[in-house]
Structure 1
């Protein structure tokens, strides 16, 4: 039976309350080389920098997703897995939690509610922690794979008020997390001004992802108010990046383990 309370959300909420910071890695199984996990284990234990691994993509059928998730779970050892679903086909009991996303920055009913309705019965039958999450695409006007797949456009970083209003709407609809995503494979990131404004007004824990491919961008997101930063294919392009992040987290005494 699915649960709406559990340790994953509690940990993110604790980071938001205490000022600690979390780190996630978003893996798209369609583009993932499993050997990277073995490489990361040998590079000064870079995997220990991770608090969560998120798994999901824009294009994948149920069987491929299930098989990929099991491989990642086996290789990732004790790092909790969170489903970051691109569709209702991306569901599994082999994860610890699922971000039950509603794409509030767009007006495509499929990703506002239709995919969620189709997924609800199966999710309810799984032993998963379900975290209602306001998913908001924000960048400098660049169009990436997530925008093409969802048929929606991102909110411009320059329209801070619309970003805040959208996040507030998610909070008032009962969503526990705000996930701000610039999109994968782009140089653009969610601006520090947007993150800061939402943090100040909305108060919900904030996840920030998309375009985080350097330590400076990671630090900027944390400083602006992100409680959990999610890195994507930058880790696969340069495994040493995760080692740099681990050193930074250790220097700042940020927790690298879920309680």
Structure 2
């Protein structure tokens, strides 16, 4: 079964999904061991970042040697492609106005995606102001949408749906001081009715539960897991 079909199958049954975001440059054996211990509670692993020095394919190979969780590329640019992955979030940065992140990089990546046989999942990527300037805003040369501008954010997500994108990703950025608000998540989900990913600034099981209750289908844990892999057990126990 294709990865996107698996995601939708879980959504149809009401299953909320946890994805771990792994930065190749900060990947550690401690992270890998924590994922292995809690494999049955982790639905997806995203690998990538705004900028990286390490070869992403090597990191993915190490992950797949240890666990059977689907690994999806979360690429910051065209250098972060690998045939070792199971799928690719084909990100369109629809909150920005930089054409390189709307179509330019996609054109460059398309031949490699086809060559590697990767499953592309067209995803509308909306970067929100999470309380601090993040690497994604700097690297992409785009401004995040003010988090309180709900109408703009909802309209942006809706435009992504009308363009044919299959998922929406609300992102406050790595190391954000706070995640997207449950109110915003509820408005986007109730208007767009697409699989909804929420990431950035999630620090507690309570925040995670509130985002799930508001309509998030997939929650991404990144910096928290990166700084302390053992926190994964507390998060999982808190939401189960």
Q: Does TM, normalized by the shorter one, top 0.5?
A: yes
Give the SS at the match of 1:155. Answer: coil
Match of 1:37 in 2: 32
Q: Which runs of 4+ in 1 moved over 3 A?
A: none
Alignment of 1:155-194 (within 5 A): 155-194=145-184
Match of 1:67 in 2: 58
| TM-score (norm. length: structure 1) | 0.87
Say if 2:93 is the partner of 1:110.
Answer: no
Root mean square deviation of aligned Cα: 1.7
- 2:34–2:230 contact (8 Å) kept in structure 1: no
Alignment deviations for residues 76-121 of structure 1 (CA, whole Å, 9 cap, x no partner): x211100001001111111111000000001011111111110011
Greater relative contact order (CA < 8 Å, ≥ 6 in sequence): 1
Give the SS at the match of 1:161. Answer: helix
Structure 1 range deviating more: 26-35 or 113-122: 26-35
In 2, Cα distance between equivalents of 1:91 and 1:186: 26
| TM-score (norm. length: structure 2) | 0.93
- 1:139–1:189 contact (8 Å) kept in structure 2: no
Say if 2:238 is the partner of 1:243.
Answer: no
In 2, Cα distance between equivalents of 1:154 and 1:113: 19
- 1:132–1:175 contact (8 Å) kept in structure 2: yes
Give the SS at the match of 2:173. Answer: coil
Equivalent residue pairs, number: 240
Give the SS at the match of 2:102. Answer: helix
- 2:199–2:221 contact (8 Å) kept in structure 1: yes
Listed as ranges, the gaps of 5+ residues in structure 1 are 1-5, 252-259
Listed as ranges, the gaps of 5+ residues in structure 2 are none
Say if 2:33 is the partner of 1:7.
Answer: no
